[in-house]
Amino acid sequence: MRLTNYTDYSLRVLIFLASKEKTQLSNIKEVADVYGISKNHLMKVTYELGKMGAVETVRGRNGGIRLAKEPGDINIGQIVRHTEDDFNLVECFNPDINQCVITPACGLRHALNEALQAYLKVLDQYTLSDLVTNKATLNRLFANA
C-alpha cells in the first residue's frame, strides 16, 4: 500500500510540530523549506489538520502553527484514514467503477481487504509521540536541512 503525498505531508507536518516545544510556533515556510515541499501544498495540509483538531493556527504578525493536542493524543491510524482519498487497492473495491469479470468468484478482494485492515490496525497502535521519541536528533536534522 502506498500513501498519497497528502498523507505523507500531513504526517511530516505533525512530526515537525511535535519535535518543537509545545508553546513554540512554527510557520508553513519553515516546514516547506525543511522538507523541500511546496508551501501551497502545506497550506492545504495544515488547513485540513486544523479542521481535524490536530493543528492550531495562530493568526497575526507573530502567528504560526503548533499542535493543538498532545502528541500522545494524535493517533496515526486516524490521521491516515482522514487524509487518504480512498483505500481502493484494486478496481473491485469500488463498485462504481468495477469492470472486473472475475469479481464474483475471485478471492483477491477478500485477501487484500484483510491486509488493509491489518495495515490500519498496526497504524492504530501508534501515536505521534511514538514517532518523535528522538526530538534532539530530529531537530538537528531539521536545522541542517
Q: Report the pLDDT averaged over residues 106-117.
A: 92
Give exposure, 118-140, as e/b (b: 16+ Cβ within 10 Å).
eebeeeeeebbeebbeeeeebee
Q: Nine-digit cell at 25?
A: 510556533
Q: pLDDT tens for residues 73-97?
A: 999 999 999 999 888 888 888 889 9
Nearest-angstrom CA–CA distance, 64 and 6: 20
CA nearest neighbour of 132 among 42, 36, 11:
11
pLDDT > 90? residue 60: no
Q: Assign domain 5-144 one CATH number from 1.10.10.10, 3.30.70.260, 1.10.3720.10, 3.40.50.300.
A: 1.10.10.10
Confidence of residue 30 (pLDDT cuts 50, 70, 90): very high
Whether this prediction's pTM lies above 0.85 is answered by yes
